[in-house]
């Protein structure tokens, strides 16, 4: 269970909160899509969940542990339980699919091992398995820079999956992709979500995608939650309030 308790974030030098007094509870198995227009606070919120963004006030608890108050070592353990995928993939273009995916193990390894890129046969086997899961078996030794956008995001998903996460976070992971590809990527995410019994929380641009895949939709406006309900409840009126 992931609990957000009265969370506010204000950026340095800004006079307004980016998000204000957010309280939400997420259960394992939920597939949550977050909607809201540009500047609503979606990225700030999602980045707060795994401690990439420090709260100005309020707390986040993952399985009872307060995220904001942890020592480095404990925070590393918590972070590896939370895989993240990004709009611009955040891959290393010159490296192969396999090498990129293996960076997902960073949270499990010493910094020396990470620096020298030394991986055991077992680690490589686990990486091969997640690469197959995302449908990139034939591309394993290709440099990432030669892949299409959809394939790059599959690499991003495989990297997150190699962490063996319990939570999958996404900050607009399909906003750089064509609608058809976006749908296929969401289909893959949903499959993995079910197979690995994840809690999935994704910011999305496309309301139709959210309605098709989410079990719960949350919409943000001006840093506040203005809707939290089922896809069916997200109606025309809520749509207009969200995007007005
Ligand atoms: N690093 C930053 N420094 C100062 N202000 C920021 C910073 N990042 C975001 N903001 C501000 O915080 C508010 C929320 O931004 P955020 O990026 O979380 O919104 P978003 O919903 O993700 O928008 P988008 O759809 O454009 O990605 C906005 O007013 C934004 O200008
Ligand atoms: Mg954003």
pLDDT tens across the length of the chain (244 residues): 999 999 999 999 999 999 999 999 999 999 999 999 999 999 999 999 998 899 999 999 999 999 877 888 888 889 999 999 999 999 999 999 999 999 999 878 777 676 667 788 999 999 999 999 999 999 999 999 999 999 999 999 999 999 999 999 999 999 999 999 999 999 999 999 999 999 999 999 899 999 999 999 999 999 999 999 999 999 999 999 999 8
- Please tell me the residue having the least CA distance from ligand 1 atom 29: 39
**Of 140, 137, 193, 124, the residue nearest 165 (C-alpha):** 193
Q: Provide the 8-state DSSP code for 108.
A: G
Ion ligand 2 neighbours (CB, 5 A) are 42-43
**Of 140, 126, 137, 136, the residue nearest 95 (C-alpha):** 140
Question: How far does residue 109's CA lie from ligand 2's centre (Å)?
Answer: 30
- Please tell me the residue having the least CA distance from ligand 1 atom 24: 38
């Amino acid at each position: 269970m992931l609990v957000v308790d009265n969370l506010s974030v204000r950026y340095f030098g800004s006079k307004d909160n980016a998000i204000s007094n957010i309280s939400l509870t997420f259960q394992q198995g939920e597939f949550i899509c977050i909607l809201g227009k540009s500047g609503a606070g979606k990225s700030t919120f999602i980045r707060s969940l795994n401690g990439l963004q420090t709260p100005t006030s309020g707390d986040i608890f993952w399985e009872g542990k307060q995220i904001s108050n942890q020592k480095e070592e404990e925070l590393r353990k918590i972070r590896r339980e939370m895989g993240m995928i990004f709009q611009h993939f955040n891959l290393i273009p010159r490296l192969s699919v396999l090498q990129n995916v293996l960076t997902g193990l960073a949270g499990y390894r010493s910094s020396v091992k990470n620096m020298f890129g030394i991986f055991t046969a077992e680690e490589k086997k686990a990486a091969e398995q997640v690469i197959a899961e995302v449908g990139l078996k034939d591309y394993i030794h290709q440099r990432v820079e030669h892949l299409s956008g959809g394939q790059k995001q599959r690499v991003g998903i495989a990297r997150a999956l190699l962490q063996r996460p319990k939570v999958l976070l996404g900050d607009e992971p399909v906003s750089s992709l064509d609608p058809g590809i976006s749908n296929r990527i969401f289909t893959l995410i949903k499959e993995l979500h079910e197979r690995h019994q994840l809690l999935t929380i994704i910011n999305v641009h496309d309301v139709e995608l959210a309605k098709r895949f989410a079990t719960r939709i949350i919409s943000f406006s001006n840093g506040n939650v203005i809707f939290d309900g089922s896809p069916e409840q997200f109606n025309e009126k809520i749509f207009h309030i969200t995007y007005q």
